Structure 1
Amino acid sequence: MKVQANGIAFEVEDRPAPGEPRGTVLLVMGLGMQLIAWPPALLDALAADGFRVICFDNRDCGLSTCLDGLGAPNLPLAALRQRLGFALRPPYTLADMAADALGVLDALQVQRAHVVGVSMGGMIAQRLALAAPQRVASLSSIMSSSGARKLPGPRPAALRALFSRPKGRGEEAVVRHTLGLLRAIGSPGFPADPIAQRAQVQRAVQRSFTPAGTLRQMLAVMADGRRADELPRIAVPTLVVHGKDDPLVPLACGEDTARRIPGARFVAVAGMGHDLPPGVVDMLLAPLLSHLRSHP
């Protein structure tokens, strides 16, 4: 279904709890990823534990409004300007995207929710906890970062895959390109099933393909340089989960996030990269459900 917030139409899936709800969980997806990227096993486990589960396509992604009128940013030029000390001026910010998430809750008349974000979604969730702590029952930041400038960056192979382009314009070229990226950033200890992964990628490409939107989201991430210094103000119960083998957002990024947020619990998962295959979901559910149950 569609809801309106901040002048944007957001595609939302709202899964009710089977009985009296224990609470509401808002799931915030990462860079360029659609709501259908949330593993069904994770959604099922949250619902079975009594939570209402809400997920949505971020702006510029999936079936939510694509803001192509804002133009496609030149990321290499933006990176150069940043290294030279110039401030970046993205067409929108992660704070704007946090306001989107809050707007989705408002549209669904949810006063308070557990906010769970992965990768860029974790950064958006951090921003939401800073902006509206009274609306956040708990924060879970998964495979994400504080955004501190001196943290290590992606491994070269992961970086090359992230900035590469499809070798063609057809659906198959886009699917092959996406599969290559997922292999480059995936979990070495929990390899994805190739047939299931291809089917999921093909479904996503057929549903929506917005490469310029992903670039705009990436620029918003790059421009959010002050968040790290603000994280000590987060006062909501926080869980930080990170893979020990993440080639895109290294383990130090998760450790830094947890160190900056007062009282945050940190869980490092051996063999986990930058994805959510079934084995990683199995490892993630125990600490996540415990965290959600502990902070009604």
Structure 2
Amino acid sequence: MTRGTATTPEGGAAAEDLFVDLPAGPRLAYRVHGPADGEPLLLVAGLGLDLTSWPAPLVDGFTDRGFRVVRFDNRDAGRSSRIAAPPPGRTRQLLARPRPDAYDLADMAADALGLLDALGIDRAHVVGMSMGGMIGQTLAARHPDRVATLTSIFSTTGDRRVGRPAWSTVARLVKPAAATVEESVTRHLELMAHIGGPGFPPDEAWERAWATAVWERTGGGRSGAPVARQIDAIRASGDRTAELRRITAPTLVVHGDRDLMVHPSGGRATAAAIRGARHVEIAGMGHHLAPGVLGRLVELTTELARTHGARPVPAPSTGEPV
């Protein structure tokens, strides 16, 4: 493991990136927060997003409750390895036909498992958003002994009849990569305006700072070949409903009722497939971790962990109650 630094909009401070070279796969960038003896909580980011996409107030909410939070860049995102394989062409993307050599969600779940192994973590609470929820679901289904609880946020099952993005969203996702930081920031703000729910608007100043910092941290935006390969991974995994029925970890499924990236039917189908899952659909929430929903997400996930964790999760040690 090696170390590096990167600047993010989290309080204006320089945050430290760590790196691990997985025996059978890519190099992953990650960060660890909170007490060394806290219950491990793994955050798995969504499509094209890096680890900084988890807002600092949400990370702080978990660490204040005593969790040891691990967040990382998926393969083909952030500062983790880019995969040396051709991306799907525009026609394949529009027709939802993955390349035969595409990696899949099982490969990405294996990356997450490799990170837990490298950190000596036997069992973790897993929280994933969007594609990260799919990775978390796959990890929980295939390695039940490693997942204490699962929180799946605005995600879906892979069944093409549910969770489909709006065509207006698809058109935004298949655009060529932004050529400049200004173009990347503009596109990000436009996408947030499109997929953010009307009940929980994004903080434009934070989003602008985040998009700028991501460009500086990674040398590019959240589009192009890496994102196309991640989309291919989702499609190559197919309908995972039968696999989801194997999940035994206590599960929370959270979705917004105004989601244009993953239709709310995806969350309903996920909860229906996982025995005993709790389904919470938040009115006015879109496909975005807006400031107005962070406290509730921390509260819901902490409640799940308190009930099913290895030891009690303490109340917040600092700050205002969530």
Q: What's the TM-score once normalised by structure 2's chain length?
A: 0.85
Could you say which residue in structure 2 is the equivalent of 1:177? 187
What CA distance in whole angstroms lies between the structure 2 residues aligned with 1:129 and 1:182? 30
Residue number among 11, 20, 28 corresponding to 1:3 in the alignment: 20
Shift of 1:194: 1.4
Q: Does 1:97 align with 2:108?
A: yes
Q: Does the aligned pair in 1 maintain the 2:103–2:236 contact within 8 Å?
A: no
Q: Deviations over 1:52-84 (max 9, x none)?
A: 0000000011011112x21222142255374xx
Q: Does the aligned pair in 1 maintain the 2:61–2:295 contact within 8 Å?
A: no
What is the percentage of aligned positions where both structures have the same residue? 42
Q: 1:79 to 1:229 in 2, by over 3 A?
A: farther
How do 1:42-53 residues align onto structure 2 when only pairs under 5 Å count?
42-53=58-69
Q: Deviations over 1:135-172 (max 9, x none)?
A: 11011100000111211522232222222345x62221
Secondary structure (helix, strand or coil) at the match of 2:152 reads strand
Alignment-mate amino acid for residue 196 of structure 1: W
What CA distance in whole angstroms lies between the structure 1 residues aligned with 2:163 and 2:230? 20
Residue number among 288, 293, 301 corresponding to 1:275 in the alignment: 288
Q: Does the aligned pair in 2 maintain the 1:246–1:273 contact within 8 Å?
A: yes
Alignment-mate amino acid for residue 205 of structure 1: W
Residue number among 164, 173, 177 corresponding to 1:162 in the alignment: 173
Q: How many pairs does the alignment contain? A: 288
Q: 1:247 to 1:271 in 2, by over 3 A?
A: same
Q: Does 1:72 align with 2:87?
A: yes
Q: Does the aligned pair in 1 maintain the 2:160–2:239 contact within 8 Å?
A: no
Secondary structure (helix, strand or coil) at the match of 1:145 reads coil
Q: Does 1:147 align with 2:155?
A: no
Q: Does 1:206 align with 2:216?
A: yes
What CA distance in whole angstroms lies between the structure 1 residues aligned with 2:280 and 2:94? 31
Q: 1:81 to 1:272 in 2, by over 3 A?
A: closer
Alignment-mate amino acid for residue 247 of structure 1: L
Q: Which structure 1 segments of 5+ residues have no match?
A: none
Could you say which residue in structure 1 is the equivalent of 2:49? 33
Alignment-mate amino acid for residue 235 of structure 1: T
What CA distance in whole angstroms lies between the structure 1 residues aligned with 2:170 and 2:225? 18
Q: Which structure features the higher share of helix residues?
A: 1
What CA distance in whole angstroms lies between the structure 1 residues aligned with 2:203 and 2:94? 35
Q: Which structure 2 segments of 5+ residues have no match?
A: 1-17, 310-322
Higher mean Cα deviation, 274-283 or 154-163? 154-163
Residue number among 254, 261, 266 corresponding to 1:253 in the alignment: 266
Could you say which residue in structure 2 is the equivalent of 1:57? 73
Q: Does the aligned pair in 1 maintain the 2:256–2:264 contact within 8 Å?
A: yes
Alignment-mate amino acid for residue 76 of structure 1: T
Q: What's the TM-score once normalised by structure 1's chain length?
A: 0.92
Could you say which residue in structure 1 is the equivalent of 2:15? none
How do 1:210-229 residues align onto structure 2 when only pairs under 5 Å count?
211-229=224-242
Residue number among 290, 293, 296 corresponding to 2:306 in the alignment: 293
Q: 1:254 to 1:152 in 2, by over 3 A?
A: closer
Residue number among 118, 136, 139 corresponding to 1:125 in the alignment: 136
Alignment-mate amino acid for residue 119 of structure 1: S
Secondary structure (helix, strand or coil) at the match of 1:59 reads coil
